[in-house]
Chain A
Amino acid sequence: MATPASAVLLRNEIEARIPAAFSFCTRQHRGSIPTGIASIDDAVRGIPLHALTEICGSNLASSGKTSLVMSLLARATQQDNFCALIDGQDAFDPASAEASGVNLSRLLWVRCGKTKQKLKPLEQAFKVADMLVQSAGFGLIVVDLCDFPERLVRRVPHTSWFRFSRVVERQPTALVFLEREPHATSCAGLVLSLKSRPAVGKGNLFTQCGMEAGILRTLERKPPQAVRPLFSLRSQWAA
């Protein structure tokens, strides 16, 4: 059995050969893209570049996750970034995006699962995400996995998430996954969970939706559980 003294010797020997073997890798905040929603931007300083972000919300109730991503795309394209949206089940609505302020000429839309291919739609989405992350030049890449059954997304190996986080670490890109539940665990730099509040109407019209964001993980420190940014989104016709 190794004694503490021999463990120290062993450690010293390893450190002599590999100096960074026992040092901690500290993540630094290296820029972000604002979401355009003040309460979220105040709480998390926008969606971080060089990191993987998960935005989660229910698939049955209106959680605001798609609206948040549209607002993020709008901000990113207005800052002259090129963005990509990998649409797992072809749910993207160009009219909503335009109403949110997305510059559509700066957006690449990839519609998965529309033709018979060797790969299944979920595999297509991951493969395309990999290609785009590797190709560089996109400021924001959004992968929409919301409409896939949860059991399929859960089967994605952890190594895939790890690989994405390592690749995007070297790129000035924000990689955002839109899901029902978080899956990337420690590979994610930021995890937001969104919930809906009752919609507000005026006469015969819905004019506003209230939302609540929970911060499950951030890059720098343990997220304060008490901070739950509230925000409201206007309907297109009311805005």
Chain B
Amino acid sequence: MFACLYLADFPVQAVLRCEPEQRRELLTQSGIVILEGSASNNRVISLNDAARQLGIELGMTKLQAQSCGSVLAHQRNLQSEDAAQAALLDCARMFSPRVESTAPGVVIVDVDGTEKLFGPLQRLAARILEQSREFGFCMNVAIAADPDSASCAARSWEGITIIPQGREAQFLGRLPVEVLSPAPEVLDTLEAWGIRNLGALAELPSVPLVERLGQEGLRLQKLARAETSRTLILAELNDEFLENFEFEDPVESLDSLSFILNRLLQQLCTRLLARALATNELRVRLDFEVHQLQTEAKEEVYERVWKLPLPVSDAKVLLRLTCLELEGCSFFAPIKRLTVQATPVKPRASQGGLFAPATPQAEQLEITLARIRGVVGREDENRMPCVGSPRTVDSHYSGSFAVHAFSSEHAVAGLCIERPVVALRKFRPALETKVEFREKPHSVMLGKRSLAVLAASGPWSTSGHWWNHSAAWAHEEWDVALKTSDGPGLYRIYFDRMRTQWFIAGMFD
């Protein structure tokens, strides 16, 4: 048995599925037409039922369509249609891996052997219909013994149609001949003969039909008799998860953008979940409306890629993260198009210990870290992250360190050291100072006061990068105990031989 999933007015549905739910309902009730062609020759190529009721027909110009009543005119967006077709395939793959992308908005699924998983055909069709709503589609589902009969039924009847095996010709007999999409001259001939439905076409004798209409006539008759049999041309898995939206009026605020961004992310996550996937890399592209009169040569596109430390498939988390990242950006022109692309990866699988201490919830932690970055900034002047997990670096230079991305998922077991040691508080950057030196440091300037050295340990010579003149360094380190007003203070000072200057590196505290 084969199920055909059919989206009526496919270009309209491809545009509507990216709209927020409430707006989608409003637009469905009002007329919407999709136009294609140059500005001077814009023609209607698709329209919804509300537009048909206003008297709009295919092929009308934009002006003619708008003169029929209040309709919303959208330019055709091929990228949206590709994304909608990919989503339709993903929706179909939730029920069977054998899926054919028959035409834009038409997908045929081989549902043989799915009874144990999804129950009888009626229940399966109902589940397909229910699932399609999550993808933002309004589709017809027809199930028949051969793919072409299923396709004809889905194109003709709304909702669910199930044709019992062996009664296909009887069911299809009532349908008009146009359902088979014959060539215009063949359709004219059939009309001239008085053949208006498939039942009449099926009853014609085959040999005289071939003599008059050729192989095309025979093909149409076989379709009408439901005598065709073919194997499905299986669609390849598409790993591109991309959604885009073109605004009718360019938007300027992040609030307006976030509504559509939310919808696009929901669509992406629905597709990812349908394939049991998640994403760890999100690419957002904003196309600006740049007028020709603007003299400043600025980029027309803003593109950003966010690498997430863990796979995420929750649209809310992705929306919060994206909005927090975009909050820090300033855009010089209104946004006319939004594109979001997700890189698919396998979802994370983790098992928390029952008696282990509480750990930050991974998705919530990512949002918190993004908010913290918004407060303290992303990177310092040396391009070192301001938020992350510290790491030591294998280097002779005492001040070197690295900051890695912090994640509660990637923690490793550490060494168990029992005895506490004296820790150093670093001065970043190191404080310039003056040292009275008599074989060893005698006094050190700390702020505006000269402090006597009670004891000194050193010198410890270190150097590095001697092969690179600009990065070369050579230090003579001393650990000194200074007599301060609060008691003895243990400091690390060093003499920079390249700059011939004393510095205080930090305090042992």
A-side residues, CB < 8 A to B, are 36-37, 57-71, 74, 77-82, 90-117, 119, 124, 127-128, 131-132, 135-139, 146, 172, 195-199, 201, 204-206, 209, 233-236, 239
Contact = CB atoms under 8 A, between A and B. Distances in A.
Counting from the closest, the 10 A-B pairs by CB-CB distance are A103-B414, A115-B377, A137-B360, A101-B417, A58-B486, A71-B420, A61-B487, A61-B486, A114-B380, A66-B509
B445 to A, nearest CB: 13
A93 B375 CA distance: 22
Interface of B: 356-361, 364-365, 368-369, 371-372, 375-381, 386-392, 398, 401, 403, 406, 408, 410-428, 446, 454-455, 457-458, 479, 481, 484-490, 506-509
B429 to A, nearest CB: 10
A124 B376 contact: yes
Given A115-B377, A234-B419, A64 B509 contact: yes
Contacts of B375: 117, 119, 124, 127-128, 131
A139 B411 CA distance: 14
A94 B368 contact: no
B358 A67 contact: no
Given A60-B485, A105-B412, A201 B377 contact: no
5 contacts: A63-B487, A64-B422, A67-B420, A103-B411, A109-B388
A104 B414 contact: yes
B494 to A, nearest CB: 15
B376 A115 contact: yes
A131 B420 contact: no
A74 B372 contact: no
Contacts of B381: 114-115
A101 B415 contact: yes
A106 B411 contact: yes
Given A70-B420, A92-B426, A100-B417, A107 B390 contact: yes
Contacts of B401: 93-95
Contacts of B422: 62, 64, 67, 96, 209, 233-236
Given A92-B426, A98-B392, A104-B392, A131 B372 contact: yes
B358 A201 contact: no
A110 B388 CA distance: 7
A197 to B, nearest CB: 8
Contact of B487 (A103, A195, A233, A239): A195
B390 A92 contact: yes
Given A97-B390, A115-B378, A137-B358, 6 more contacts: A61-B484, A67-B508, A132-B372, A136-B360, A233-B420, A236-B421
B392 A114 contact: no
Given A94-B401, A115-B377, A60 B419 contact: no
B357 A139 contact: yes
B203 to A, nearest CB: 73
Contact of B421 (A60, A67, A111, A139): A67
Contacts of B360: 82, 135-138
A78 to B, nearest CB: 6
A59 B403 CA distance: 26
A60 B486 contact: yes
A78 B414 contact: yes
Contact of A63 (B413, B427, B509): B509
A199 B358 contact: no
Given A195-B487, A206-B481, A135 B421 contact: no
B419 to A, nearest CB: 6
B386 A115 contact: yes
Given A104-B414, A128-B376, A70 B419 contact: no
Contact of B357 (A81, A146, A239): A81
Contacts of B455: 199, 201, 206
Contacts of B484: 58, 60-61
B367 to A, nearest CB: 8
B379 A101 contact: no
Nearest to A235: B422
A80 B408 CA distance: 11
A115 B421 contact: no
A137 B376 contact: no
Contacts of A103: 411-415
A137 B424 contact: no
Given A70-B420, A233-B421, A109 B390 contact: yes
A135 B416 CA distance: 28
Given A106-B411, A112-B376, A205 B421 contact: no
Contact of A110 (B378, B386, B457): B386
Contact of A136 (B358, B403, B414): B358
Contacts of B369: 108
Contacts of A81: 357
Interface centre among B365, B369, B486 (most CB of A within 10 A): B486
A199 B480 CA distance: 10
Nearest to B371: A131
Interface centre among B359, B361, B414, B421 (most CB of A within 10 A): B421
A132 B368 contact: yes
A95 B371 CA distance: 28
B410 A108 contact: no
A144 B101 CA distance: 61
Nearest to A231: B420
Given A80-B357, A104-B391, A137-B360, A117 B414 contact: no
B358 A172 contact: yes
A101 B414 contact: yes
Contact of B425 (A66, A74, A107, A195): A66
